[in-house]
Copies of this chain bind each other. A is one copy, B any other.
């Protein structure tokens, strides 16, 4: 269960992770990938209810106890992200700056997107776009979203605009759903490793916890894979939460998965949904990487493609343009749910998550365009695949095992052999050596991975940056980095080959 420091929110713990940097960024709040929410060398108390007097550190503070908790999330990101932003790599101006392989952004297609968004049809300014509008989103946009999702999710029946709510990104949607589905202090199940920023998305406003379904890399049978989610593990995590007195209200599924780059098969999806129905749990299915499946052999299926949802009134799907269109700064996300109570309650909160009418118009123009299917996606997938091939071949050349199934922007890399004692402290030291050698990565603890030594490498960047980044990684692992002050870890521990 996620924990927070309790005694003094005005002196936050130092950031210990690369993903904090992207994530909780104090001067820059970027990817929100991962989570740096605890100091690894101390045992932190359980997250209390927001507003709990025990969280108030001082009478002199200008903030409420929850305000200090919220600020703590920002401050805790200081070290890593500030380091990066003070010294960003630039081919011409700062060639010795930090290469960012930590933030999950697609930097391969700005040329395509910039071209598309600069076309004349994007520049409409009319009164209705400048006035108050439906908080669910303009109807013209919700109609396009419904058509878009129907087509790209391969829905068996046309999806309906009245089930669509648009807002300014997936983070907001997690916040809104947590608040309208749960009472304060209740929990969602989530399999780990997972996109750690969800912790704060459900907590900062909603005061909701995450109950982890811990997965591991061990392969236990013919039909299993590393970090495989099973109904047995879901049942066990649910029982554990109950035994701790935590009420679980839902399950969060991410497919394609972040950081694993994995997808759930239709059969797996069906099993998880049936499990959720059995326990009357809501399911939030985050499909924010749905169009970033670059490997044709991967049989990705959206949950919206299933013939029949076991519990459609408790199944809520989210998608956004941040990842699939490489536009995390554009702030566009959408909910699809057949539950009109949920849609309405989320819409009611959308007065705080609204996006500009001008952007809504642009998104409608984009989503309706066959250019997506004819030009953008083929090119995007080709570029993702080439970048993925480059990094995975580099890893193979270095003898480093990894997981990657052909979706998303990242490779889940097994650096356990570089941690002699196999501790999270060593994981952190290794991460810091990477940063000191000017390459920013995300460490596994930030994704609540239970095995120390896993790192997420983002590959969706230009090859010259990837090349330099991988060189710097190799230097650290070979003990050749100029700044390595710690004794080089032994490489004697041979990990199992989990490359896929």
Contact = CB atoms under 8 A, between A and B. Distances in A.
A331 B356 contact: yes
Given A205-B205, A349-B70, A30 B168 contact: no
Contacts of A169: 351, 354
B358 A355 contact: no
> Among the interface residues A65, A326, A329, A351, which one has the most CB atoms of the partner chain B within 10 A?
A351
A77 to B, nearest CB: 9
A95 interface: no
A18 B249 CA distance: 37
A368 B349 CA distance: 32
Contacts of A181: 62-64, 67
Interface in A341-363: 341-342, 344-345, 347-359, 362
Contact of A348 (B110, B184, B204, B345): B204
A141 to B, nearest CB: 12
Contact of A329 (B61, B110, B131): B131
Interface residues of A, number: 95
A66 to B, nearest CB: 6
A83 interface: no
Contacts of A186: 64
A90 interface: no
Interface in A123-146: 123, 125-136
A172 interface: yes
Kindly report how many copies of this chain are found in the complex they form together: 2
A335 to B, nearest CB: 14
Contacts of A160: none
Given A51-B185, A129-B329, A132-B328, A62 B342 contact: yes
Contact of A73 (B185, B331, B332, B348): B348
A408 to B, nearest CB: 17
Contacts of A29: 132-135, 347-348, 350-351
Interface string A107-125: 1001001100110001101
A28 interface: yes
A27 interface: yes
A105 B117 contact: no
Nearest to A208: B64
Interface of A: 10, 22, 24-32, 50-51, 61-68, 70-71, 73-75, 103, 105, 107, 110, 113-114, 117-118, 122-123, 125-136, 168-169, 171-172, 175, 179-186, 200-201, 204-205, 249, 282, 313-314, 326-332, 339, 341-342, 344-345, 347-359, 362
